[in-house]
Amino acid sequence: MIPAIVVFLYLATVLYIGIFAFRHARGKEEAEDYFLASRSLGPFVFLFSLFGTNMTAFAILGSSGHAFNNGIVTFGLMASSSGLVIPLTIFLVGTRVWALGKKYGFMTPVQMFRDRWECTHIGTVIFVVQAVLLVPYIIIGIMGGGTTLNAISGGFVPFWFGGAIVALVVMSYVFFGGMRGTAWVNTFQTVLFLCFGAIALAVIGIGMGGFRSAAQALQAAPATSWLLTRERISPYYFFSYTFIPLSAIAFPHILIFCLTARKMAQFKKTVIFYPICILAIWLPCVFLGVMANRVTEIPQIREKQEARRVLATQGRTMDPEHRDELRDKSAGDDVIMLLLQQYAPLWLAGLLGAGIMAAVMASDSQILALSTMFTEDVFAFYGGKRRFGEAVQVQTGRLFIVLITLFAYIVALQAPETIFELAIQYAFSGYAALSPLLIAALFWKGSTKWGALAVTVWTASTVIAVAVLQATVPAPAPGPPTVLWVPGGVEILTRTPGGTAVYGFMPVVPMVIGSTLLMIVVSMLTQKPATSTLAKYFGGRKP
């Protein structure tokens, strides 16, 4: 019960920060203040809130769970590649979008696309695809909150109540504090979960009697030594993962955050320290996830290992439902919480639980981003702001926040979590496939609105195609994949235990390449925007 009380205190603190931000902005019913904190964030808040916005529950719970079942490969797949690609895209794209936002008053990516490519309804199509890909995050955030509170309180707080509390707290500080409240809360949360990794590593390390013997035992046993290598992962698959972080800058909540910096110099620290922040959070979590395989005194961890063993040895002869059941049993998303319950004193487990909650509650920025997009790209664009004024626009944004949170909560209670976990997988690939939109808008004079439409339609179609394929063809057991399409003896399309592969690569690779080619080919065949528009974006530069 003590850990649950600490977590509730944490939630109260977060709520207070949001309301404090509201007081700070009292009297300003301006859209730019509510949705972008008047473009006034300083370097410290900008770095930590931008980083925190991009770190979801997966950073702590998912990373250790993935490492528990897949070994050290998790860090190279998801962390170190992000540490290179994300700051690079912030450096190249984020700074340019910030400058354009300052010069022309853009508050959303779609506003910029509409102006850059002289389009109206194509912008609305981009808005719809972006919004649909963003909603699963909000739902999974509420589900994660309910599950975590339930686990931390030892089952005392039921899932529905935990989810409701998390939804209410997030909704309240986003509702009152807008971007300022969200940024301050994110900063507080990021500091908390940056501390989490180091403290958890120390506490669990002491509890396990040091990592040296555990690591050497894992290395010595043939059943576990592969966890310290990447021998079970194809280099093609590993390479494919470097395309996924392209999604970060295409996420509307990240791009909108780039508009909040007071000065462009604020990007400098963010770009430099981003890889270090990723290292500080992911390395301990991945390491602990791997080491959990040596813990024998926690029965739940032994059950997971047994499920994994049965799946690997007998999975081929089982029916798909039984395989899925075993996959769920072997999932390691709660290993870090199990380790903390075993080794940390109660009060510390509570503090660390608050750190986990901080990561789980990252859906705040997505809620605010959706609200900003709706009010700017739909309400204001189709005449709402002109007719009703800016104060009504802000109130509409607030109403939208309540409605979207309520919708997400209701769906979270009804639907199984795995559906949305899958949807998030598709969303990463989808947003990565949308990234050529930004590159083309900012760096290529020759790009056109029809090229942008082709990219958007391609992205939506491929995301749906992958989703349908994975829903109709059951995942095989660990081992060789199910081959689906072999033209001329070449294995083009396969269903793997973890998803789909196209010529051995993850779908994100052909999706991004297809988007890029479509942007180039369609733009070359269609009419360019007016010279005056191009001059706004490129000055006297040649195409």
Partner 1 sequence: MKKLLLVLAVVVLYVLHQDVWFWRSSRLVFGFIPIGLFYQGCFSVAAALLMWLLVTYAWPSHLEQEVEETDTREERRA
Closer residue to partner 1, CB minimum distance, 7 or 249:
249
Q: What are phi and psi of 264, to 5 degrees?
A: -70, -25
Cβ pair 182, 369 in contact under 8 A = no
Closer residue to partner 1, CB minimum distance, 225 or 482:
225
CB-neighbour burial class of residue 45 (10 A; exposed 0-12, middle 13-18, buried 19+): buried
E strand spans, 119-227: none
In whole angstroms, the minimum distance from the beta carbon of 290 to partner 1 comes to 8
Cβ pair 334, 122 in contact under 8 A = no
In whole angstroms, the minimum distance from the beta carbon of 212 to partner 1 comes to 5
Closer residue to partner 1, CB minimum distance, 287 or 379:
287
Cβ pair 397, 182 in contact under 8 A = no
Residues 266-305 that bind partner 1 (CB under 8 A): 268, 271-276, 278-279, 283, 286-287, 290
d(CA 271, CA 236): 28
Residue 543 is which amino acid? P
Q: What residues does 261 pair with on adjacent strands?
A: 41
How many residues form the binding site for partner 1 (CB under 8 A)?
A: 51
Closer residue to partner 1, CB minimum distance, 268 or 385:
268
* Among 153-161, 169-177, 264-272, 310-318, the segment contacting partner 1 (CB under 8 A): 264-272
Closer residue to partner 1, CB minimum distance, 245 or 451:
245
Cβ pair 520, 445 in contact under 8 A = no
In whole angstroms, the minimum distance from the beta carbon of 482 to partner 1 comes to 25
Which ranges of 389-448 does DSSP label H, i.e. alpha helix? 390-414, 417-443
Q: Which two tokens stand for residue 326?
A: 């075993």
d(CA 505, CA 501): 5
Cβ pair 117, 448 in contact under 8 A = yes
* Among 87-95, 123-131, 173-181, 248-256, the segment contacting partner 1 (CB under 8 A): 87-95
What 3-state DSSP class applies to 474? coil
In whole angstroms, the minimum distance from the beta carbon of 231 to partner 1 comes to 5
Q: Which of 88, 132, 473, 484 binds partner 1 (CB under 8 A)?
A: 88
In whole angstroms, the minimum distance from the beta carbon of 419 to partner 1 comes to 31
Closest to 412 in 3D by CA, of 168, 142, 149? 142
Q: What residues does 482 pair with on adjacent strands?
A: 495
In whole angstroms, the minimum distance from the beta carbon of 536 to partner 1 comes to 11
Residues 6+ apart with CB under 8 A from 435: 89, 246, 247, 249, 250, 512, 515
Site string for partner 1, 199-238 (x = CB under 8 A): -----------xxx-xxx--x-----xx-xxxx---x--x
Q: Which of 80, 124, 300, 342 binds partner 1 (CB under 8 A)?
A: 80
Closer residue to partner 1, CB minimum distance, 99 or 419:
99
Does position 469 interact with partner 1 (CB under 8 A)? The reply is: no
Task: Give the footprint of partner 1 on this chain (CB under 8 A).
Answer: 72-73, 75-76, 79-81, 83-84, 87-88, 91, 95-96, 98-99, 102-103, 210-212, 214-216, 219, 225-226, 228-231, 235, 238-239, 242, 263-265, 268, 271-276, 278-279, 283, 286-287, 290
